[in-house]
Amino acid sequence: MPMTIQAIVCTVDFSPFSALVVRSGVALAQRAGVRLYLIHAVYDPQDGAHPTTVFERGGDLAHHTDDARQRIQALMTDVPVDWEPVVRFGEPVEQTVAFVNSLPPCLVISASHGVSGFRRFFIGTVVERLTRALNRPMLVVKPGEGKDHDRFSGFRSAVVSCDGHGYWQRMAPLLPLLQPDAASRIHMVHAMEGPLEEVTTDSDAVSYGEVQQALQDRLDRQLRDQGRRMFSHADQLSVAIAPGVPQEMVLRHARELASDVIVVGVRRSGKVSRWISGSTTEALLRRSPCSVLTVPEPLDPIKTGDHRR
């Protein structure tokens, strides 16, 4: 089911990247005509000997709340959108997910700080954990050299990772919002991780390679037809299909085309399988030279008990 956006949520941690996150959210909220929320989660350490929060017992709860609201207000001076500050206490991912789930369909915007080594292996970054926990699309903005972090004008060039699950198709209504420029470009990439299906043929003269090429050509036509229907706003549409590893192929095309954003679907999988085989989404978040838009696998409303439309 295609996605609709009725709100924008910016995660704000007051890092140097917060200005870019906020300016992106303001521009998109203004363009979509929806409300903007800025959420900041203050981690509340618990003392093992007491059930209450350390901040609360020390009398700092009100101070932290007021300080966060003032810093958010400083980021939102003279903005032309309807907005609301949200300050919560608790683990950032849990608090963000809980708040987002209380809203109508929305787009979450965050920035990747980048960590490496054992810390990422065991707990991942906040952004990576959010992509796994959220059932909403998330735009992870990445600062670029020579770019104005106080101004967001959209993404002119997008690379769409078109895997076989088709979750990427849900974001078709979002790209016109992210690509307001009439000269926008979309490059659809599909990596074949194994041999294509075999086709029975009556001619022994037709080689295996020829059959595979014919099937590859058929996939190319199918993706082009889908692209024309789904991305009619784009001025240029191109398709690349070839054997390879999805994340490597997507990254290569993003670099070669100097793309502004990569669009990728998120499959829900367990930690063990992710540690063994890795995640295309997380690999792109870590190594992408540009921003990344993640599109989650749709939840089953019967299993989740969520019957909202």
CATH number at residue 46: 3.40.50.620
pLDDT digits over 195-215, tens only? 554 444 555 556 777 877 888
Q: Is the pLDDT of residue 288 over 60?
A: yes
Residues 128 and 163 in one domain: no
Are 100 and 19 a contacting pair, CB within 8 Å?
A: no
Distance, CA of 46 to CA of 43 (rounded, Å)? 10
Angle at 129 between CA 186 and CA 114, to 5 degrees: 75
**Domain endpoint, select from 127, 147, 167:** 147
Residues 137 and 159 in one domain: no
Residues 133 and 158 in one domain: no
Q: Is the pLDDT of residue 278 over 60?
A: no
Domain for residue 62, yes or no?
yes
In the chain, the percentage of residues whose pLDDT exceeds 70 is 76
Report the pLDDT value the prediction gives residue 2, as an integer from 0 to 100.
55
Q: Give me the number of domains the chain comprises.
A: 2
Distance, CA of 219 to CA of 239 (rounded, Å)? 10
Distance, CA of 156 to CA of 147 (rounded, Å)? 14
Structure tokens at 81: 């959108």
Report the pLDDT value the prediction gives residue 275, as an integer from 0 to 100.
36
Domain for residue 291, yes or no?
no
Residues 2 and 111 in one domain: yes
Residues 184 and 217 in one domain: yes
Residues 141 and 158 in one domain: no
Are 133 and 93 a contacting pair, CB within 8 Å?
A: yes
Residues 142 and 8 in one domain: yes
68: amino acid identity, one letter: A
Helix/strand/coil for 39: strand
Q: Is the pLDDT of residue 70 over 80?
A: yes
Report the pLDDT value the prediction gives residue 283, as an integer from 0 to 100.
85
Domain for residue 309, yes or no?
no
Locus of tokens 């090429």: 213
Residues 127 and 158 in one domain: no
**Domain endpoint, select from 108, 125, 147:** 147
Domain for residue 297, yes or no?
no
Residues 43 and 130 in one domain: yes
Residues 105 and 184 in one domain: no
Residues 179 and 111 in one domain: no
Mean pLDDT, residues 7-28 = 93
SS3 content of the chain, % helix, strand, coil (to 5): 40, 20, 40
pTM higher than 0.85, yes or no?
Answer: no
**Domain endpoint, select from 97, 129, 147:** 147
Angle at 230 between CA 112 and CA 255, to 5 degrees: 40
Print the domain residue range for 178.
Answer: 154-264+271-286
Q: Is the pLDDT of residue 165 over 80?
A: no
Q: Is the pLDDT of residue 22 over 90?
A: yes
Residues 9 and 143 in one domain: yes
pLDDT digits over 223-233, tens only? 999 999 999 88
Helix/strand/coil for 208: helix
Report the pLDDT value the prediction gives residue 210, as an integer from 0 to 100.
80
Q: Output the furthest CA–CA distance in the chain (Å, rounded).
A: 83
More confident residue, 131 or 121: 131
Could you tell me where the DSSP H helices lie in the chain? Answer: 18-32, 54-58, 61-75, 92-101, 118-123, 126-133, 175-178, 208-230, 246-256, 271-277, 280-287, 301-304
